Amino acid sequence: MVLCPSCGKAVFFAERQLYNQKEYHQICYNILIKQENASKPKTFAIHEQIFCNVEENSKFKYPLAPAGGYYVPDAKTINCTKCSKEAKPTDKFCTSCGNKLVV
């Protein structure tokens, strides 16, 4: 019978988790992994500056959210032939009535 290094109790075959050549209980293993992940240093790329204010984002070369907004190409909308609702040109079916859209 193998003893869990975390709690010192017996580890049965059906509940064992192998980690670093040691057998743990499932719960002890999950707690160990959470503790290891919490103790690791948090790493971010240089361009991942996170600010809530748009003015602060615009000060950096690679802002998280551009001050002028994201570029969206002009897309023509199409109308459903059945219910006359507007739909995106990428849609295949109308979202309100389910009719097949013809581009």
Name residue, tokens 């859209």.
101
Residue 16 domain boundaries: 2-39
Do 55 and 99 share a domain, yes or no? yes
Do 97 and 63 share a domain, yes or no? yes
Give 11-58 pLDDT, tens digit per residue.
999 999 999 999 999 999 999 999 998 888 776 555 555 656 666 655
Do 71 and 48 share a domain, yes or no? yes
Name residue, tokens 């869990």.
4
Residue 34: its pLDDT value, please?
Answer: 92
Give 53-99 pLDDT, tens digit per residue.
666 655 655 555 555 656 566 667 788 888 888 888 788 888 888 88
Tally of structural domains, the chain: 2
Name residue, tokens 């009535």.
97
Q: Compute CA distances 73 → 70, 85, 90, whole Å.
A: 10, 21, 13
pTM of the complete model: 0.41
Do 68 and 89 share a domain, yes or no? yes
Do 103 and 85 share a domain, yes or no? yes
Do 75 and 91 share a domain, yes or no? yes
Do 12 and 48 share a domain, yes or no? no
Exposed, middle or buried, 6 (CB in 10 Å: 0-12/13-18/19+)? middle
Residue 31: its pLDDT value, please?
Answer: 94
Residue 30: its pLDDT value, please?
Answer: 93
Q: How many CB atoms lie within 10 A of CB 29?
A: 20
Q: How far apart are CA 103 and CA 85, in angstroms?
A: 14
Do 22 and 52 share a domain, yes or no? no
Do 48 and 85 share a domain, yes or no? yes
Do 65 and 30 share a domain, yes or no? no
Do 53 and 6 share a domain, yes or no? no
Residue 5: its pLDDT value, please?
Answer: 92
